Chain A
Amino acid sequence: MRFLFKTDYEDDIRLFPHSGYVWSYGALFVLLAIAPYVLSSYLVSQLVFVCIYATVGVGLLILTGFTGQASLGHAAFLAIGAYTAAYLQQFNVPFPVYFLAAGLLTGVIGAIVGFPALRLQGIYLVIATISFAFIVEEILARWESVTHGNEGMRIKTIQLLGTQISRDSPTFYFLCLAVLVLTIVGSLNLLRSPTGRAFIAIRDSETAARSMGINVALYKVKSFAISAAITGFAGVLFAHKLSFISPEMFTLQLSIEFIIVILIGGTFSLHGAVLGAIFIVMIDPFLTYLKDDMPGVIAGVAAALGAGSERAGHIRDGVAAFASANGLKGAIYGVIIVLFVLFEPLGLYGRWLKIKLFFQLFPLYKRATFKRQKIYVKSERNR
């Protein structure tokens, strides 16, 4: 068990509280650096998606986790980033320029969305952001002169410093990783400065925030803008990774996936975005496994248990029909959300902290350490 003796105000400010963090993050960095050279191209591709989803997750965390403003419209911000990149690419705009432009434009649109959101709370804000997402989806389908409508748009390979960065190359992976790391570091910096604290204050009590001199409207708009801009940057990478974008890729389901990322990862820490992203990216291979292998496996088990070959065949067909049923993904998402909200409200990162504490305190860990308390003295009058 390690005791931290703080001797300087710097101890409360620095990002790595002690040397243990430097070692563990250093090791993680080394692993990530050699990953594209040792892992299969499929896994590297999955890692790229993890980076992109985690970047969006960090953006969403700033808005939902730290400012307390729920959003189900982040797929629209991702779309705006992606389409800006695709549109500007046609005019041979260099990558760094359209990358920044996409983030900037998305940020501005985020701020504009933030204004009407100022008057909305809770579920009403969620509905407003959903409708925003639908509006954007519709515009993308109809504004054919710019977006090519439902035909979609092709994204050319990145041209940077005279070289091509193909979407499957290690360089592209490092680019996505760099964007993720920069986003995380920037967000951490924000969270340890006055703006981040203002966000947290607004989340926990708008009345108190106001009476402490925080311009709640301004900071909500800032939060929307930052969150949208980060998502816009991720959108550019997303477009490049898929090399083709069309309106039906940016649906409500994608927004829900982003919410799942932070809900499952844990909404109180940026770690949650990364853990949640890993989780959500792993669902697809799991579904593929369910579709391809599961029926055979179950039929095999049934046969071993003494079912006749005809019976086993029936079981295999049944399981196969179930595994490839339409909407299975949505159903699985729903079940996951419900289970996490009920049994693991602090998410995967919360679980990790509990496991860590268990070993740090061994054998003194008390079961009730993280038991949620009921709070009776919460005033709702001054909303």
Chain B
Amino acid sequence: MSYFRAENISLHFGGLKAVDAVSFAVEKGEILSIIGPNGAGKSSIFNLISRIYTPTSGRIFFEDQDITEVPAYGIARLGIARTFQNIELFENATVLNNLLVGRHRHSTTQLWQELLFLPGVRANEKAHRRRVEQVIELLDLEPYRDKLISGLPYGVRKVIELARALCSEPKLILLDEPSSGLNVEETDDMSFWIRDLKSELGITVVMVEHDMTLVNRVSDRVIALNYGRVLAMGSPAEVQGHPDVVAAYLGA
């Protein structure tokens, strides 16, 4: 059985089929990219997996467990973290607090213990802080720890979103356009980090991406979508050479 599996998932808004009977599987430890023209349904698939939308039909499995009915907050607890295309950080909080929210699924303290800030809570906080510091070190975020998000440039925010997802120690991470709005240098960094996620942290990565250089550099497999349907699936070179994909992009 595959590590992660989507079976015939569909998302219909009235007559519009944003996602139409898409099936795919992700193996443990691989990097899968989803490509396709604008409006192809790439982000919608992510929103279906993280349950921001409810699938019209179809089922989703993770580690052999049916997660189609799991509520949105339960998805993260299973070990699936995500980033957003348009950055959804907590604007008026510090970088550190943003990252600590990423630790939320590991917090075990009760409300009354927190009101008194008992030694157990303090110890937990320090443990969370230590894990957050490891992520900060990995992604070179040291200069920004105490800064408010609202004052940070776009490129840094993008990295912080990745960091927040990593803080939850996910098994599977969904990256929605990790390089959008980044310059060449920042995109390079991002591609190294995505590789590191796989090789050093053993995280399975699914990403939506438009930058084909990045896709070619990091992905093991690629899925091409158009109008909510799968056009092609396979290695980056195979998919890019597929006549349907060429037609979808060039409008042949």
> What is the interface of chain A, defined by CB distance below 8 A to chain B?
9-10, 12-13, 186, 189-190, 192-198, 200-201, 203-205, 207-216, 222, 268, 373, 375, 377-379, 381-382
Residues of B within 8 A of A211 (CB): 50, 52, 72, 75-76, 81-82, 88
CA distance A350 to B168 in the complex (A): 33
Q: How distant is B144 from chain A, measured CB to nearest CB, in Å?
A: 14
Chain A CB within 10 Å — which of B84, B93, B101, B164 has the most? B101
Q: Which of B107-115, B182-190, B206-214, B238-246 contacts A (4 or more CB under 8 A)?
A: B107-115
Whether B88 and A197, one on each chain, are in contact in the complex, defined by CB atoms closer than 8 angstroms, is no
Residues of A within 8 A of B147 (CB): none
Given contacts A189-B117, A194-B104, is CB(A382)–CB(B52) below 8 Å?
A: yes
Chain B CB within 10 Å — which of A190, A194, A205, A379 has the most? A194
B217 interfacial contact with A, CB 8 Å:
no
A-B contact pairs, 22 of them (CB 8 A): A9-B129, A9-B130, A13-B125, A13-B126, A190-B111, A193-B125, A194-B107, A197-B93, A197-B104, A200-B93, A201-B101, A207-B52, A210-B72, A211-B81, A213-B76, A213-B105, A214-B73, A222-B111, A375-B91, A377-B154, A379-B85, A382-B52
Whether B73 and A216, one on each chain, are in contact in the complex, defined by CB atoms closer than 8 angstroms, is yes
Residues of A within 8 A of B75 (CB): 211, 213
CA distance A320 to B21 in the complex (A): 76
B15 interfacial contact with A, CB 8 Å:
no
Q: How distant is B177 from chain A, measured CB to nearest CB, in Å?
A: 12
Q: How distant is B247 from chain A, measured CB to nearest CB, in Å?
A: 29
Per DSSP, are chain A's interface residues mostly helix, strand or loop, or mixed?
A: helix
Chain B CB within 10 Å — which of A12, A215, A381 has the most? A12
B55 interfacial contact with A, CB 8 Å:
no
Residues of A within 8 A of B41 (CB): none
Chain A residue with Cβ nearest B161: A208
B162 interfacial contact with A, CB 8 Å:
no
CA distance A355 to B74 in the complex (A): 45
Chain B residue with Cβ nearest A198: B104
CA distance A190 to B117 in the complex (A): 8
Q: How distant is B35 from chain A, measured CB to nearest CB, in Å?
A: 21
Given contacts A193-B109, A194-B107, is CB(A212)–CB(B92) below 8 Å?
A: no
In the A-B complex, list the 3 residue pairs whose CB atoms are closest, starting with the nearest. A213-B76, A379-B86, A213-B105
CA distance A236 to B69 in the complex (A): 45
Set A189, A200, A207, A268: member contacting B114, Cβ < 8 A = A189
CA distance A213 to B92 in the complex (A): 20
- Other A-B contacts than A197-B97, A211-B82, 14 sampled, CB-CB below 8 A, are A13-B125, A193-B125, A196-B114, A198-B101, A200-B101, A204-B93, A205-B88, A207-B84, A208-B89, A210-B72, A211-B52, A212-B168, A216-B73, A382-B52
Q: How distant is A36 from chain B, measured CB to nearest CB, in Å?
A: 28
Q: How distant is A269 from chain B, measured CB to nearest CB, in Å?
A: 11
Residues of B within 8 A of A196 (CB): 114
Residues of B within 8 A of A203 (CB): 90, 92
Q: How distant is B216 from chain A, measured CB to nearest CB, in Å?
A: 27
Tell me the chain B residues, 145-170 only, with Cβ under 8 Å from chain A: 150-151, 154, 164, 168
CA distance A222 to B117 in the complex (A): 17
CA distance A193 to B82 in the complex (A): 23
